[in-house]
Amino acid sequence: EPEVTQTPSHQVTQMGQEVILRCVPISNHLYFYWYRQILGQKVEFLVSFYNNEISEKSEIFDDQFSVERPDGSNFTLKIRSTKLEDSAMYFCASGGQTNQPQHFGDGTRLSIL
């Protein structure tokens, strides 16, 4: 069964540093998403991406965050200057159609020191 893959599985970074989280969505999917889950809390939407542009973003997704699809397969989330409160699991998801189930990668655990 095709799956969404994410790298790295764990990233430890000093506060103020830039991080890039990488995702390879399912190959025939057109809709891409990032979510995050702070330890012990619910999964929260960050951003959706379709047709090479952001279609929706949450309040969490401020100017420190950006997304990119640099080639036909990768989808990245960049945090420009990390803060302690950015520590969380970051999940990438993809979907074949809007309003349909989204399939999640196994996540990147981001730890900011």
Question: Smaller CB distance to another protein: residue 44 or 65?
Answer: 44
- 92 near 26, Cβ under 8 Å? no
- 25 near 4, Cβ under 8 Å? yes
Question: Smaller CB distance to another protein: residue 14 or 97?
Answer: 97
Token pair recorded at residue 1: 């069964």
Stretch that binds another protein, among 11-19, 63-71, 72-80, 101-109 (CB under 8 A): 101-109
CA distance 100 to 111: 31
* Residue 95 touching another protein (CB under 8 A): yes
Residues that bind another protein (CB under 8 A): 31, 33, 35, 41-45, 48, 55-56, 58, 89, 91, 93, 95, 98-107, 109
